[in-house]
Structure 1
Amino acid sequence: MQKGAEAVHSAKPNVLVILSGLKYDTDLSFLRNKPVSLSFTSKLVFEVHWFSFTGGTDWENGDPYQVCTRVVNNKMRNAGFLLDQGYPLFVSEWGLDLRGTNVNHNRYLDCFIKWVDEHDLDWAIWTLAGSYYLKQGVVGMEEYYGVLDSDWAGVRNSSFLERISAIQSPRQGNIIETLHF
């Protein structure tokens, strides 16, 4: 990670350097015992992923408040501790089935919005695409995690866009405004 970050910094000194974690970018806890040592820190950003299926059937079988507390505590233990060290944390991929019919995904969304809002995190949703030209040998396969509908002409779930509107504007500034390089 360090060699790659230094290479990016050397080649492009005015870009952010984003470092990812292990286990499909859900775990940065290894940095607790061995932090990165770089010639720069002011443009360093860490990224993490968090999808509705993270945690298996916890949302289905447990009390939503308790599950949210447990999952958020785990997320903070595995990545959120970097916020306490002064680093920006970017949720570079997150998502859920946007058809809106899965109660467990909706519970996850409530939890996700609360966590992102509480920490004023920047994020990028997976995905805008409502379908694929070809995926797994299927032409026109629908992407239910996509914001757009299958023909890309409209929004799959307008109430979803309303729900995330609260976290679309940063309160403390976005990552680029926050970092000084």
Structure 2
Amino acid sequence: MRLALALLALVGLGKTAPSPHQPHDDLSSRAAWPNGPFVTSGRWILDASGKNLTYAGTNWPSHADVMIPEGLQYQSIETIVQKIKSVGMNAVRLTFAIQMVDEIYTNGGTDVTLQTAFAQALGQANGVKVLAQVLAKNPRFTATTTRLQVFDAVAAELARQQIYVHLDNHISKGMWCCSSTDGNSWWGDTYFSAANWTRGLSYMANHAKSWPAFMSMGLRNEPRDPTNIPSLSKSSYNWQTWYTYMRQGATAVHSANPAPLIFLSGLSYDTYLTPVVQGTALTPGTGKFSLGDFVGYADKLVLELHNYENSIGSCSSLQGNLERNGFEALRGGAGKAVMPVMMTEFGFQMDEKTWKGVYASCLASYLPGIKAGWTIWVLAGSYYIRSGTQDYDEGWGLLNHDWSAWRSQSYIDGAFREMVRATLS
């Protein structure tokens, strides 16, 4: 009962209670989109006019083997962004791999061309074939267009259609993510150089200064136990180490570009941030999370969580887990953090019935009810290559295999449009 009452109180706060930082929204307070840069105040994200805002969006993977945004062999950038806009979404979590930046440095500051990127990822024959399809759908590009130029074009189109860009460092080595044995799990893992990571964050934060829609950046997707290196796991996989590196990453981003919000992800595949929001020790040390440790940009920090409890039996259980894992920061309490929290990944099979189950239907009401932002996994109907399989079909994709239509029109019409509307209302 206590949990139920607490959740009701939280929902009530999200729906009706005025924040001391929530000004009256009249025409005089509005400015040209995107009206940034954004800042945080308590549990809210505010635009440059002091108006509350949040994200209702999707993930557009761009971090895998080719290291460019997926789907361009099937549709133009404009067409894909139009699909996002058509259901009212206002944000895209655009992922990238540190390897892309590493190769730019290795090449003396010159990025890899599409011709090279597709050949390296798919093999010479298939690389030529798929690149030809990309160029046919996106004739602005050529074989010598670089990967970052494709990112630039995507960001420009998102801005044109007034959709925020959240840039996310998803992985170090460009590949499908994630497992605890993929070499990308934790600082010091096979492919996860801390120095290259901070360099990559700085480079991308600086590069994205030219993107009008660039509003936020995630430091690292799903930190997790590096079980392939037992010594690293034993000595380093803990909250104390997490805090050290999150502060380094946040400083790298803010020093390169002071404008974007900075998202901090939790442990165990970003499924919990409990000691951060509850103000308990970041073990094995005794120090605690403090906004005061982020000097000069404490009002730029947002917490992010992922959740894939698809088989959960009740909505109340799921809500309780989400509260304990981090969403309680939206209301705080004695000794606890008060910060914005967003769910940057959740997802499920896109068919005719899964969206009607406990997990999907609960999130469709819970997240808008507490005014928490979100980006659903995943937009992609297919991948250039995933785990060695080329033209891999994504059953969780909002879009179908050739990115031409919604994979589950019943979900879009029966729940998703309303979830977007309720989140942004």
Aligned match of 2:96: none
2:418 to 156, 166, 175: 166
2:259 counterpart SS class: coil
Contact 1:100 1:106 in 2 (8 A): no
2:312 to 30, 54, 58: 58
Once residues 383 and 303 of structure 2 are traced to their aligned partners in structure 1, the CA distance between those partners, rounded to angstroms, is 29
Is 1:4 the counterpart of 2:249? The answer is yes
Aligned match of 2:360: 109
Once residues 73 and 24 of structure 1 are traced to their aligned partners in structure 2, the CA distance between those partners, rounded to angstroms, is 19
Aligned match of 1:119: 370
1:92 to 344, 350, 354: 344
Once residues 12 and 168 of structure 1 are traced to their aligned partners in structure 2, the CA distance between those partners, rounded to angstroms, is 30
Once residues 379 and 254 of structure 2 are traced to their aligned partners in structure 1, the CA distance between those partners, rounded to angstroms, is 30
1:145 to 384, 393, 396: 396
Aligned match of 1:154: 405
Give the gaps of 5 or more residues in structure 1.
60-66, 173-181
Is 1:38 the counterpart of 2:282? The answer is no
> Match of 2:306, as an amino acid?
H
Shift of 1:10: 1.9
1:20 to 241, 248, 265: 265
Once residues 124 and 7 of structure 1 are traced to their aligned partners in structure 2, the CA distance between those partners, rounded to angstroms, is 24
1:74 counterpart SS class: helix
If the length of structure 1 is used for normalisation, what is the TM-score? 0.80
Shift of 1:75: 0.9
Shift of 1:106: 2.5
Once residues 305 and 381 of structure 2 are traced to their aligned partners in structure 1, the CA distance between those partners, rounded to angstroms, is 23
Runs of 4+ that moved beyond 6 A = none
> Match of 2:331, as an amino acid?
D
Once residues 52 and 29 of structure 1 are traced to their aligned partners in structure 2, the CA distance between those partners, rounded to angstroms, is 17
Give the gaps of 5 or more residues in structure 2.
1-245, 281-287, 333-337
Contact 1:52 1:96 in 2 (8 A): no
The sequence identity of aligned pairs, in percent, is 32
Contact 2:261 2:302 in 1 (8 A): yes
If the length of structure 2 is used for normalisation, what is the TM-score? 0.36
**Could you list the per-position Cα deviations for residues 30-67 of structure 1 after superposition, in whole angstroms to 9, with x for gaps in the alignment?**
212122331122121111112253xxx433xxxxxxx2
> Match of 2:384, as an amino acid?
Y
Aligned match of 2:318: 71
Question: Given the superposition, is the C-alpha separation of residues 3 and 136 from structure 1 closer, same or farther in structure 2, using an over 3 Å criterion?
Answer: closer
Shift of 1:100: 2.7
Once residues 408 and 343 of structure 2 are traced to their aligned partners in structure 1, the CA distance between those partners, rounded to angstroms, is 21
